[in-house]
Amino acid sequence: MRWRPPLAWLAEQEQMQCCFRRSCSLEARHPLRRRRQELDSERRSAGSRAAPRSLRSLAKVLLALFAATEWVLPAIAVEDREPTPTSVSFSDSDLDAGDVGGIVSWQAAANATEDADHFRVYLALDAVGAGRSEVGRTANSMESFFVPEDTSIGAFTHIVVYAASNSSEYTTPASA
């Protein structure tokens, strides 16, 4: 079994301890340590360079434990640039019960023109967009959308606005 660390870990090699090459504190506490030493002595006495099958399975256990300890490097920091609109408002000008119509307006995020291609307007069952039904789309440079008169609301209680790119829709809506 060969293990090669990713290139990012090579610079941190002094900080890493591999349980296959020398003792480490994790291995000293591990109940299989004694069994590993027995298998190592068997291999040395047999004069074989290949590790026995049982040692290979033990190595997998130790590798799994090794990967779950503090020796694993921290995750890469990620900046979330989701261009979620804010301050959504809707003025219903349709006087019919069960129907809506009017202007939905919002404030676009500062990075909306860079990260979003358009906005999608939906009727939804709640503020997070459950059970949504699309009403329309508008360009990323726009901050309002006209919902046509006589649009039936059914069971919908919210209007939500999502930022979207050509390939996908961002996950967090703004609602009114």
Based on the fold, state whether residues 135 and 92 are members of the same structural domain: yes
169 and 122 together in one domain: yes
Where the chain has pLDDT below 50, the residues are: 1, 8-28, 52, 54-69
Domain contains 3: no
Q: Tell me what pLDDT residue 32 has.
A: 56
pLDDT in tens, 4-19: 555 544 444 444 444 4
Structural domain of 130: 86-175
pTM: 0.54
**How much is the pLDDT for 74?**
53
Alpha helices in the chain (DSSP H): 7-10, 25-29, 33-46, 53-67, 112-115
Decide: residue 122, CB within 10 A, 0-12 exposed, 13-18 middle, 19+ buried.
buried
How far is 102 from 150, CA to CA, in rounded Å? Answer: 10
Residues 39 and 106 in one domain: no
Count of domains forming the chain: 2
